[in-house]
Chains A and B, each alone.
Chain A
Amino acid sequence: MTPFLEKAHDHLLTGLEAAKRRGVAGAKLSFGRHESLDCEYESGRLKTAGAHENAGFSLEVLVDGRLGTASGNRFEDLDRLLEDAIALAAVGRQAHFDAWPAPGSATAVATHSEQAAALSRDDLLAPCAEIVDALKAFDSELRVDAWTSRSESESLLVTSGGVLHSAQKTNWSLGGHAQRTQGTDILMTGHGRGWGEVNEHFSAKPIIDCVLEDLRRAERLVEPPSGLVPAFLPPESLSMFLWPLSLGINGRNVAKGDSPLAGRLGERLLAPCFTITDRPHADFAPGAASMDGDGIPTREQVLVREGVLQRFLYDLDSAGLAGAEPTGNSGCRPYHPVLRPGSRHSDQLLAGIKDGIVIRDLIGFGQSNILNGDFSANVGLGFRVQNGEVVGRIKDCMVAGNLYELLSLDDVELSSDLDYQNATPHAVLPAVAVSSRPR
């Protein structure tokens, strides 16, 4: 343990003992500390350098079958917050478990990289500058922003079930953004990446390539198609389209009746090409974790197999509510969902589209009844595809539909190549509704 965690450890154990003395049936205390460096280019010039530190703790108590939670960032407030948590439990949520469980056998997962933690400000500035220089060299009139950061965090969990778990995590992020303004036409495109260890992806090149590809494709503005057309989704867009699924398999949403997937385990929900596995043990993935927030070991789980819904995700309390076993998923959310790739490369998928669109970004995607799978959004950045070639940018048009319906069609196809996180392929959806005003 680091000196910070050792100090926190003493405070949390003291808090746990105090809670027991107050007669609580159970308690969970956690501490987290985060430290980061960042820098940012704005409009092509180096604008900001930052250094950030924050820490905090929370405690949850179980009293007479009810839960209360309090949090803060000064350990001198611990006693007062314990009193608050006990008072909150008197009016709080009915607990659907009797006690925090004893420690289980957790799988080790690498989340901390000394190399990432040691990234200096110069290390961070170099790829940012490269992004800015490359994009300005392409078009000096572009507004170019770039950013990078590295962070190191540590956490500690103590429960009345006997769990004492510490974790350390590192992360870097790197991104670039370009804006081209011509008259009243504004084009915005960007790309960002992040990971837990310094690897080949900590590089300006793929970001520059992605932005330049968008800028080149957008040089010509073309009429959008209308009606039902095939849509090519890069991995970021496919992840966005799968958002309703992560809400639907959330065990609390299921138990509370909010999920349209309740009662549908074993049903075919998506096209057969979809096999989705939650992989919390993928080393250095942003969501990687060996234990959930209640001290339950995480596990690899198939969520959807060949389109068929396999399981819902439960934390400790939601599992009790649903009469299910906890799956070790904090907040009933997946950690690192990974899709099984298809058989053809994304270039081949794109080449197979006779007349359709590429959806790079949508404006207002989550503002519809997304839980139900409905969406209706403006195409923020999109392109028209004709005879397998991107022929130009489309704008001032909307796409709409129901994501469960769109993703369940037999003709949906996923690419063999995955994104840099090795998690999400490209996809082609056979029929997406596009509408626009005739010009």
Chain B
Amino acid sequence: MKDQLFDALKSNTADYAEIRVESEERTSLAYRGKEVESSTRSSFVGGLVRACTRGGWGVVTFDSLDNLKERVVEAGRCAALVGREETQLAEVEPVDRECPAELERDFRGVSLDEKLKVIGAYNQILLGVSPKIESTNVTYADTFRTVHFASSRGGRTASVRSYFMEERPRAICVLGATAREGSLVQQSHDSVSTNRSFDAVLGLEAMAEQVGQRAAALLTAPKVAGGPHTVILDPKLAGVFIHEAFGHLSEADFIYETPQMRSLMEVGREVGVKELNVYDDGSLGGYGGSLHVDDEGTPTSRTCLIRDGVLAGHLHSLETAAKMGAAPAGNARAISRHYAPIVRMTNTFIDKGNLPVAELFAGVDDGILCCDMFGGQTMLEMFTFSAAYGYRIHNGEVGELLRDITLSGNVFETLRAIDGIADDQYIAQNAGGCGKNGQSPLPVSFGSPHIRIRDVVIGGS
């Protein structure tokens, strides 16, 4: 493949060109209620050529590996059509790497029967937890994606051009339950994802039991009154918070061509409390957002986004890094062969603080413990994220279960309203993903210690 890609790149006349060819094998099995809902398998091959001339980009996607040279020419033609300025791409050492998957137990060697048996057992637990469980949704899916990439970085001779092959496996298991009483329906979910071993989806019986019990209990849980509240976010939800509230804002493609955004997100600006440190790190092994090389051929590394409450860095592609005078750290990612890479997060997390968890709770007379995530969305400075469930905190003690907790805010106000960061930390390995510019779901991870925030607005009547 390497020779085939380099050979095709000989046709390039643009300032820069890259070819990414991918194959993807996927198996998915699902229960819904008492029955198997679906059993599917897919096998796709395809790719994308991207070229840049005078700062303009041409993108050509294809499903057949025939005529790769013509695709390179076509991408160059598209780029020439739109380019009006100067091509600026960060200088990165050319890579020449093969990164095979590091699977302790390869899911491709596990039979369909065994996979179905595993989720069938979880489904039985969910169905048996409570008579109020009306339906379930238990899904197992595995994907084995192989990426071959070559670019013209480094020069016109193949010996110094960039090439990598990376295998990106992923298996997920999602456990969901729907409880019903009359016309009131409540749902509860949890999930795991792994790029290390099929065994990670085993042993989730306790998780299944909790999911089922929670769905039934939420039927009688009160809603939270709307308005400002003191909240403690558990590590999963705090991870969603930092992903939504600050991670997206750190993506340099939102910043680099808008002077006002560059000023707003200038390195050195105080953005949060002094105890706050935030990182993105695709090189952390074994997490959802972990990868060796991004989809522009840049090896992944750690970026400090906030250090001691002060904005310390951004996430970059080759282009944004060049235009902002920064070094890229492997954040140009594409969800599949159909898409060009854009600036994305990998594994984003708040670093541990100094406060014991018990002290964090002791400081709350009347507040809400917000747990797990339903999802999150941002419009840069404004964000919303939903807890899957929560509990009332009264005089430092955790009390009754609560439902429908959606938190909303302005990132700049909220990061300054954090008044406690605990000394624990957990990085979630969930099945979901991040969405941006129509590319969803991209595997990412996020995490945090427990954190306490004052005056967060929760929506409600």
Contact = CB atoms under 8 A, between A and B. Distances in A.
A121 interface: yes
A194 to B, nearest CB: 13
A55 B33 CA distance: 34
A43 B323 CA distance: 14
A164 interface: no
A137 interface: no
Contacts of A161: none
A42 to B, nearest CB: 7
Interface stretch (A105-113, A215-223, A285-293, A370-378): A370-378
B386 A368 contact: yes
Interface in B348-399: 374-386
A283 interface: no
B33 A70 contact: no
B63 A69 contact: no
B84 interface: yes
B154 interface: no
B158 interface: no
A80 B25 CA distance: 13
Nearest to B338: A54
Contacts of B386: 364, 367-368, 376
A292 B198 CA distance: 37
Nearest to A371: B185
A380 interface: yes
Interface centre among B57, B178, B382 (most CB of A within 10 A): B382
A367 B385 contact: yes
A192 to B, nearest CB: 12
Contacts of B183: 260-261, 264
A89 B458 CA distance: 46
Interface centre among A42, A71, A396, A435 (most CB of B within 10 A): A435
Contacts of A364: 375-377, 383-386, 406, 408
A246 interface: no
B233 interface: no
A184 interface: yes
A163 interface: no
Interface stretch (A152-160, A298-306, A397-405, A418-426): A397-405
Interface in A375-408: 376-378, 380, 395-401
Interface string A345-386: 000000000000000010110111101101011101000000
A437 B457 contact: yes
B79 interface: yes
B63 A92 contact: no
A44 to B, nearest CB: 8
Q: Is the interface of A mostly helix, strand, loop or mixed?
A: strand
A22 interface: no
Contacts of B44: 56, 71-73
B43 interface: yes
A248 to B, nearest CB: 10
Nearest to A121: B81
Contacts of A183: 264
Contact of A49 (B78, B135, B379, B382): B78
Interface in B397-416: 403-404, 406, 408-410, 412-413
Contacts of A14: none
Contacts of A188: 379-380
Nearest to A321: B35
Contact of B377 (A70, A184, A363, A372): A363
Contact of B40 (A88, A143, A256): A88
B280 interface: no
B157 interface: no
A369 B185 contact: yes
B103 interface: no
Given A85-B41, A435-B227, A256 B32 contact: yes
A46 interface: yes
A266 interface: no
B258 A179 contact: yes
Interface in A142-184: 143, 179, 181-184
Interface in A180-197: 181-186, 188
Interface string B438-461: 000000000000000001011111
A93 interface: yes
A45 B78 CA distance: 15
A366 B33 contact: no
Given A46-B82, A52-B61, A73 B45 contact: yes
A85 B41 CA distance: 7
Contact of A256 (B33, B60, B63): B33
Contacts of A438: 228
B295 interface: no
Given A367-B406, A398-B459, A54 B46 contact: yes
Interface in A404-439: 433, 435-438
Contacts of B460: 376, 398, 400, 433, 435
A92 B260 contact: no
Interface in A289-346: none
A91 B29 contact: yes
B46 A73 contact: yes
A48 interface: yes
B297 interface: no
Interface string A58-96: 000000001111111110010011001101111111100
Contact of A368 (B338, B378, B404): B404
Interface string B65-107: 0000000001000110110110000000000000000000000
29 contacts: A47-B56, A49-B79, A53-B63, A56-B63, A69-B41, A70-B42, A70-B43, A72-B44, A88-B112, A91-B29, A91-B39, A93-B36, A181-B260, A181-B264, A184-B264, A186-B382, A257-B33, A258-B178, A364-B408, A367-B375, A369-B185, A376-B460, A378-B384, A378-B409, A395-B410, A399-B459, A400-B404, A400-B461, A401-B461
Interface of B: 29, 32-33, 35-46, 56-63, 74, 78-79, 81-82, 84-85, 112-113, 116, 134-135, 178, 180, 183-187, 226-228, 257-261, 264, 338, 340, 374-386, 403-404, 406, 408-410, 412-413, 455, 457-461
Interface of A: 39, 42-43, 45-56, 66-74, 77, 80-81, 84-85, 87-94, 121, 141, 143, 179, 181-186, 188, 228, 256-261, 264, 361, 363-364, 366-369, 371-372, 374, 376-378, 380, 395-401, 433, 435-438
